Amino acid sequence: MSIGEIIYSYLPAKRKQTPSGWIKFNAVCCHHNGTTPDTRQRGGMIQNGDGVSYHCFNCGYKASWQPGRHLTRKMRYLLQWMGAPDDVITKLSLEALKIESDAKALEAVSLPTFEERELPEGAKSLEAWSTWIELHGWENTEQDLITAFCYLRNNRQIDPYSYPFYWTSKLGYKNRIIIPFYKDGKIVGYTARAVNDAKPKYISDQTPGYVFNLDRQTQDREFVIVCEGPFDALSIDGVAILGAEIMDKQALLINRLNRQVIVVPDRDSDGARTVEQAINNRYSVSMPDWPDGVKDINDAVQKLGKLQTLYKIISQTEHNELKIKLRAKQWFLN
């Protein structure tokens, strides 16, 4: 049995599974933390990759384990409170340590690293450009720059200052909005999206394995929403895999967040492939009942607003492999 399976085997007998994959039971932590014991099944455990996360919605206790990490003190306490014998906990700790050192050796060769990269020549942030416009007046501003602002506001309903978007007057780029890719605060690539019908839609410079908007996953959510495009991710504060494929290196980075992973595919033929990869990674998948004509999250936010879109995603999240497959069959057909 894997460490995750052993942890699962000590869950209280009285429990139920929610469609989104959480196993709910009376939390075992609360009275150890000076809170009234839980009687309303507010303790939850979820599988996340080969790891597990525990969250108590009564006293707020959290504990998790991922392959490649040691067994934290909080996880050891949790096991104790669930009634695991001391020798089992010690064994698990040792096993986790062994996996950790193996994983560290492996990560050294496999975790993607990202070098600093330059944006196209002359690129300045929209914030800097707006100062420029104030100084020089709209009548002296290039139409393409104005179009770029309008594209974000009107075509995407994204506040131009909510992310450090860039623009440049350089030929070949002036009809595009530049979305820098950040990792640990450094610019490690970008994609430049056409704001008109120009082809290609995107001109990108990126290292394979990059996950967009990972740096910003600081909110106290129990989940992370994984989508295809950068505008989808920005619309609901999720991350984007920048295509339909979840690469192994991307999965490594996403798993390190230690949260429930909810994949929301685009509703097109490539999206079906994303679903398959989500299942292989044991992620949850949400294929919400979008309004007609909605093909991705950014479309949905424009029609429904951010809160309603998030609500649909969360409430229609599915963890069971069979149910995901059944839903996909119907969802991609319509």
Q: Which is nearer to Zn ion, 25 or 190 (CB)?
A: 25
Q: Which two tokens stand for residue 244?
A: 């339909």
Using the Cα atoms of residue 145, residue 184, residue 224 and residue 334 in order, give the sign of their dihedral. positive
- The residue range among 23-31, 199-207, 278-286, 292-300 that interacts with Zn ion, by the rule CB under 5 A, is 23-31
Minimum distance of Zn ion from residue 30's CB (angstroms): 4
Shortest distance in whole angstroms from residue 256 CB to Zn ion:
25
Which C-beta is closer to Zn ion: that of 42 or that of 256? 42
- Output 61 or 290, the one with its CB closest to Zn ion: 61
For residue 284, which of 264, 267, 303 has the smallest C-alpha distance? 264
Tell me the closest approach of the beta carbon of residue 75 to Zn ion, in angstroms: 14
The answer to whether the peptide bond before residue 265 is cis (omega within 30 degrees of 0) is: no
CB 61 → Zn ion: shortest distance, Å? Answer: 5
CB of 63 or CB of 178, closer to Zn ion: 63
If the CB atoms of residues 56 and 278 are measured against Zn ion, the closer one turns out to be 56
* 141-169 per-residue burial string, b: 16 or more CB within 10 A, e: under 16: eeebbebbbebbeeebebebeebebbbbe
**Binding residue for Zn ion (CB under 5 A) from 3, 7, 11, 29?**
29
Whole-number Å distance between alpha carbons of 234 and 160: 11
Cα separation, 45 vs 54, whole angstroms: 4
Q: Convert residues 141-160 into a mask of x (bound to Zn ion by CB under 5 A) and - (unbound).
A: --------------------
- Between 76 and 156, CB nearer to Zn ion: 76
- CB neighbours of residue 53 within 10 Å: 21
User: Which CB, 56 or 275, lies closer to Zn ion?
Assistant: 56
Tell me if 272 sits within 8 A of 328, measured CB to CB: yes
How many residues in the shown chain lie near Zn ion by CB under 5 A? 7
Long-range contacts of 105-109 (CB under 8 A, 24+ apart): 107/68, 107/252
Exactly one of 3, 7, 11, 30 binds Zn ion (CB under 5 A); that residue is 30
Task: Work out whether 82 is an interface residue with Zn ion (CB under 5 A).
Answer: no
Report residue 40: phi and psi, to 5°.
Answer: -120, 30
Distance of closest approach, residue 317 Cβ to Zn ion, in angstroms: 23
Q: Please, which residue, 46 or 177, has the CB nearer to Zn ion?
A: 46
Q: With contacts defined by CB under 5 A, name the span among 25-33, 135-143, 153-161, 262-270 that binds Zn ion.
A: 25-33
Name which of 42 and 327 has its Cβ closer to Zn ion. 42
Nearest partner of 114 among 189, 166, 179, judged by Cα: 189
Partners of residue 317 on adjacent β-strands: 286
Binding mask 39-78 for Zn ion (x = CB under 5 A): -----------------x-xx-x-----------------
Concatenating the DSSP letter of every residue in 28-90 gives: SSGGGGTSPPP-S--EEEEEETTEEEEEETTT--EEEE-TTS---HHHHHHHHHTT--HHHHH
Strand 51-56 with 43-48, pairing: antiparallel
> Among 27, 45, 236, 313, which residue interacts with Zn ion (rule: CB under 5 A)?
27
Least separation, in Å, of the C-beta of 74 and Zn ion? Answer: 12
- State the nearest-atom distance from the C-beta of 45 to Zn ion, in Å: 12
Binding site for Zn ion (CB under 5 A): 27, 29-30, 56, 58-59, 61
